[in-house]
Amino acid sequence: MYSLMFQYWWILLPAIVLGAIAQLSVRGTYKKYRQVKTRDGITGAEVARRILDEYGLKAIPIETVQGELTDHYDPRSKTLRLSQGVYRGDNVAALGIAAHETGHAIQHARSYFPLAVRNTIYPVASFGSKLGPLIVLGGLLFSFSDLLISIGIVMFAVAVVFSIITLPVELNASTNAISVLQRGGFLSEPELRGARSVLNAAALTYVAAALASVLTLARLLLLSRRR
């Protein structure tokens, strides 16, 4: 199995390169616009609260979470969680990220179809992304390999669908975030450009993840043809 794991590794090179670029871009852009204070001194938590209230989502609490760039909306508990830097931050990066995460809460409340599909397949996708490749490789070693290979590929294919459908979910949240920040007068035009840069850099990480999943599936299919 050890030798199989390194076959067709070169297929993943584009995703590896794009992933590295995306990570450098998002952290560099975040660091840059974290230094740009907003004109009104409003924080990420305050913006998130105002947006949620505007959309009739007053029951959704906003909590802090440890780490950097760990911000997310939890659809299970219907809770918006912001990293401390975003929660208390009164800078362009913080407001852009906070508005983006409220976008997911709004999507959930409005039953945004791509988000509903993503949430539905998440358990299988999470399981398949971890075990799918191992099941395929295991199938290449045992006599009942055809069955194992098919199961592994189907499981990982669900993870690929999850990665792909994540793209419109994230892009929609970012587009709405910029629109809300502009409409609410939270940021000036130059500040909006900065927030857009932060969200575009973050979007690139999801593109890299989707590419990685597609290329990994292609690699698994090539491995399966060794049969």
pTM: 0.89
Whether 163 contacts 216, CB under 8 Å? no
Facing residues of 80 across strands? Answer: 62, 73
Q: What is the pLDDT of residues 54-108, one digit of tens each?
A: 999 999 999 999 999 999 999 999 999 999 999 999 999 999 999 999 999 999 9
The reply to whether 101 belongs to the active site is yes
Task: Annotate 103-114 with DSSP letters as a single string.
Answer: HHHHHHHTT-HH
Domain ranges of the chain: 4-224
Residue 201 has, within 13 A of its CA and on its CB side, a CA count of 23
Q: What is the pLDDT of residues 117-170, one digit of tens each?
A: 999 999 999 988 888 887 887 777 776 577 888 888 999 999 999 999 999 999
Choosing from 46, 101, 170, 191, the catalytic residue is 101
Strands 79-83 and 62-65: parallel
Q: For residue 22, give both structure tokens.
A: 């995306």
Q: Scan for tokens 């979007």, then name that residue.
A: 203
Q: For residue 76, give both structure tokens.
A: 């299970």
Question: By 3-state DSSP, what share of the chain in percent is helix, strand and coil, each rounded to 5?
Answer: 70, 5, 20
Q: What is the pLDDT of residues 198-216, one digit of tens each?
A: 999 999 999 999 999 999 9
What are the CA-CA distances from residue 101 to residues 8, 175, 222 (Å)? Answer: 37, 12, 38
Indicate the SS3 state at residue 80: strand
Q: For residue 1, give both structure tokens.
A: 């199995």
Residue type, 49: R
